[in-house]
Amino acid sequence: MKRIGVLTSGGDAPGMNAAIRAVTRTAIAAGFDVFGIRRGYAGLLAAELVPLDARAVGGIIERGGTTLGSARCPEFLTDEGRCAAVVSVESHRLDALVIIGGNGSQAGAYALSKLGVPVVGVASTIDNDLAGSEITIGVDTALNIALEAIDRLKTTAASHHRAFLVEVMGRHCGYLALMAGIAGGAEVVAIPEQPCEPEAIAQELKAAYERGKSHAIGVVAEGAKYRAADIAAHFREHHERIGFDLRVTALGHVQRGGAPGAFDRLLATRLGAGAVDALVRGRTGVLVGLLRGEVATTPLADVAGVTKPLDLRLMDLARVLAR
Ligand code: F6P
């Protein structure tokens, strides 16, 4: 195997650049030629390849986002698009692809592997919903950003005797919301895995008010049954049902931006190097992730389309801790 392509796909995640760097430098050390593919699968279809040497990936380990760019690529969801991707791989004489991304990206990687392309996935998404890795690249940084926001909101909330609903990302998965809620000391957490009504959230906030708290924080996952703004709208004229005056902050893409923390730089470096190690061993059609603290491979067939379950016992813990 001589020529490999590396791409980042789907939502960017802090640490993707560290993964690109690790793939490039370990692959060069293993004797491979490395090509970066810009804009994910869209760039693969449009043949946007750039040769990567060790210098090309200098100074990027500390940078957020992805220097290769990323894209959502509807064309790649079709059979025609995927066949065109295979043609692109062949015409550029790429012997394998390393695909850095989350659920949708790894489903695409699996589709390519079924069409005969040797691929290795690298687990990267802030949502932490990907099977085959206990934690994925970007989660820790995104979580810390959410926590910083919650900590800041608490000080202004306490000054005005207010409650805040803080909406965090995660797509259909409540991991970020639940962990931010526990680590941020939230009074209530709303996640898609345990749908709840606005009334139940209001009751928790009111109970915190009645326990004499100076403020209350509700963390709402963007995929929860009700968005934070809709919950707030429900009580707009009736803040007395919450006790506190209520405000909403949706963190949105702020959580995906900025420099990766140490954990994500190290995780991305280990997983990127693990992907090249898998290629050297001729192990393709796999996702490289972290299992029981070790870099491990899982067949893409066991990953594609599978959502990693959330440990819902932590919701009970969050409730107890909110006292
Ligand atoms: O998958 C990562 C993620 O940030 C999700 O948490 C969120 O739902 C989605 O991507 C947002 O996508 P986009 O950047 O395309 O708006």
Strand order in the sheet with 3-8: 49-52, 33-37, 3-8, 96-101, 119-123, 286-291, 294-299
pLDDT along the chain (323 residues), means of 10: 93 98 98 98 96 98 98 91 96 98 96 98 98 98 98 97 97 98 98 96 96 97 97 87 95 97 98 98 98 98 94 96 92
Same domain, 248 and 264: no
Tokens of 151: 């900590």
How far does Cα 189 stand from its chain's mean position? Answer: 19
Q: Which of 72, 126, 227 has most ligand 1 atoms within 8 Å of CB, for mutation? A: 126
Structural domain boundaries, residue 32:
3-138+260-302
pLDDT computed for residue 114 by the predictor? 97
**CATH number, domain with residue 247:** 3.40.50.460
The model carries a pTM of: 0.97
Q: What is the pLDDT of residue 1?
A: 61
The pLDDT, as a whole number, for residue 219 is: 98
Identify residue 178 by its one-letter amino acid code. L
Residue 71 · residue 43 · CB < 8 Å? yes
Q: Using CA of residue 275, residue 277, residue 281, residue 282, what is the dihedral sign?
A: positive
Sheet containing 162-168: give its strands across: 188-190, 216-221, 162-168, 245-250
Residue 126 Cα: closest atom of ligand 1? 2
Name the token pair of 302: 């066991």
In the reported structure, the alpha carbon of residue 16 is separated from the centroid of ligand 1 by a whole-number distance in angstroms of 15
Q: Has residue 192 been placed in a domain?
A: yes
Strand intervals (E) in 199-320: 216-221, 245-250, 286-291, 294-299
- For the Cβ of 286 lying below 6 angstroms from any atom of ligand 1, the answer is no
Backbone dihedral angles phi then psi of residue 43, each to the nearest 5 degrees:
-70, -30
Check residue 196 and give its pLDDT: 95
Identify the residue whose tokens are 């790649």: 76
* Claim to verify: residue 86 and residue 235 sit in the same structural domain: no
Contacts of 59 (CB under 8 A, 6+ apart): none
| CA-nearest residue, atom 7 of ligand 1 | 171
Atom of ligand 1 nearest to the CA of 223: 8
Is the same domain home to 10 and 90?
A: yes
Do 163 and 250 reside in the same domain of the chain?
yes
Q: What is the C-alpha separation between 182 and 203, in angstroms, rounded?
A: 19
- Whether 125 is in the pocket of ligand 1, judged by its Cβ within 6 Å, is yes
Which burial class, exposed, middle or buried, applies to 195 when counting CB atoms under 10 A from its CB (0-12, 13-18, 19+)? exposed
11 lines ligand 1 (CB under 6 A): yes
Who contacts 281 (Cβ-Cβ below 8 Å, separation ≥6)?
Answer: none
Residues 159 and 296 in one domain: no
Question: For residue 69, how far is its CA from the centre of ligand 1 (angstroms)?
Answer: 15
Task: Report yes or no on 311 lying in a domain.
Answer: no
Q: What pLDDT does 199 receive?
A: 95
> Is the CB–ligand 1 distance for residue 105 below 6 Å?
no
Nearest to 275 by CA among 25, 13, 59: 25
Q: Which of the residues are catalytic?
A: 127
Of all residues in the chain, what percent are helix, strand and coil, respectively (each to 5)?
A: 45, 20, 35
- Cβ–ligand 1 contact at 102 (below 6 Å): yes
322 in any annotated domain: no
Q: Do 127 and 57 share a structural domain?
A: yes
126 lines ligand 1 (CB under 6 A): yes
* Distance (Å) from CA 272 to ligand 1 centroid: 22
266: CA distance to ligand 1 center in Å?
A: 23
Statement to judge: residues 117 and 241 lie in one domain: no
CA–CA distance, 146 with 169 (Å, rounded to integer): 9
Cβ of 171 below 6 Å from ligand 1? yes
Structure tokens at 49: 């390849």
When divided into structural domains, the chain yields a total of 2
